[in-house]
Amino acid sequence: MVSPTEIILGDLRFKPLIFNAIIMERIRELAKEINEEIGSQKIELLAILDGAEAFAKAIHPFFSFENQLHFMKIKTYDGLHSSASADLDWSELDQLRGKNILILEDIIDSGFTAYKLTESLKKREIGDVRLASLLHKPAQLKYPAKPDFTGFEIGPEFVVGFGMDYREQGRELKDIYRCVDL
């Protein structure tokens, strides 16, 4: 299917930023980088819902190490802005005690979500905690949550597609689009 050159979600216009073929190619490379780093360790993969579901499902088949994939809901974004609280399901975190973890995120913006999560994991006698994010906005980073593995570094723009949404719209787009109205 041909990708539209412009889409409108609510009050905002978006244009293509990264096409699906490029995303998939990078995901395969990223999996290779991660496989080399992890080696023969057993890893608990923690994909952050809803945004990272597409990334987690795309990269998972390329991992060569023993792993278990978990999904965890954390909601911190309110429309366009990172909100000041992160909603974590604590009971699930307790099951990860003593294990090595790789967090899978869709995008690191301020770094708040990833920072809160890694801090809570580290307090729970967990093994190594690493972070892989499909996208990272280095110019926006305000918390110490630089990903160990990054798919693409982008500017401070707001994006949708490949799991990422604007007010619950745009998640199912196979390409990544950037907002041209902000």
Spot the catalytic one: 109, 165, 175, 181: 109
Per-residue tokens: 135:
């996208």
Residue 29 Cβ vs Mg ion, minimum distance, rounded to whole Å? 22
Active site residue 50: no
Residue 82 binding result from Mg ion, ligand IMP, none, given CB thresholds of 5 to 8 Å by partner type: ligand IMP
User: Which one among 38, 51, 109, 116 touches Mg ion, defined by CB under 5 A?
Assistant: 51
Q: How far is the CB of 39 from Mg ion (least distance, A)?
A: 28
Amino acid at 163: G
Nearer to Mg ion, 48 or 101 (CB): 48
Q: Strands, E, within 3-83: which ranges?
A: 7-9, 12-18, 43-49, 67-73, 77-78, 81-82
Q: Are 54 and 162 in contact (CB under 8 A)?
A: yes
Q: What angle do CA 43, 57, 92 make, to 5 degrees?
A: 50
Amino acid at 170: G
Q: Are 47 and 53 in contact (CB under 8 A)?
A: yes
Which chain residues interact with ligand IMP by CB under 6 A?
48, 51, 76-77, 82, 105-114, 158-160, 164
Single-letter residue type at 62:
F
Q: Which is nearer to Mg ion, 9 or 117 (CB)?
A: 117
Q: Which does 158 bind (CB under 5 to 8 A by kind): ligand IMP, Mg ion, none?
A: ligand IMP
